[in-house]
Amino acid sequence: KQEVTQIPAALSVPEGENLVLNCSFTDSAIYNLQWFRQDPGKGLTSLLLIQSSQREQTSGRLNASLDKSSGRSTLYIAASQPGDSATYLCAVRQDDYKLSFGAGTTVTVRA
């Protein structure tokens, strides 16, 4: 059974600092990995999707890396802003279309 772990559970940084969010998974036989953002009381918004054959994906200030062999992904958010405050979830998809989530990292960016 796939287990997904996100560390840290919570993070508080001053505005302008870079954010580093970690995700690890136990079964490296994945199809892809997706990072989501969740605002309080809202659904999930997809940020980045990395195929198993890729090493990284970038979108604006966001960059996600994937090391499938070691079961790790990292989400980097450059020059954080108060609007980046949210919970960030990592989800791993396996070949049977199952999507397994971590518990998330709650980020607070202080103005």
Q: Which residues bind another protein (CB under 8 A)?
A: 4, 6, 32, 34, 36, 41-46, 49, 89, 91, 93, 96-104
Locus of tokens 């990284």: 56
Closest approach, Cβ 5 to another protein, in A, equals 10
Picking from 74, 94, 91, 100, the residue whose alpha carbon sits closest to that of residue 38 is: 91
Q: Which of 33, 7, 28, 25 is nearest to 92 (CA)?
A: 33
The neighbouring-strand residues paired with 75 are: 21, 64
Rounded least distance, CB 58 to another protein, Å: 16
Considering beta carbons, is residue 14 or 60 the nearer one to another protein?
Answer: 60
How far CA 5 is from CA of 9, 22, 85, in Å, comes to 9, 8, 20
| Minimum separation from the CB atom of position 16 to another protein (A) | 28
Measured distance CA(22)–CA(96) in Å, rounded? 24
Two structure tokens written together for 23: 């995700």
Min dist CB 4 to another protein, Å, is 7
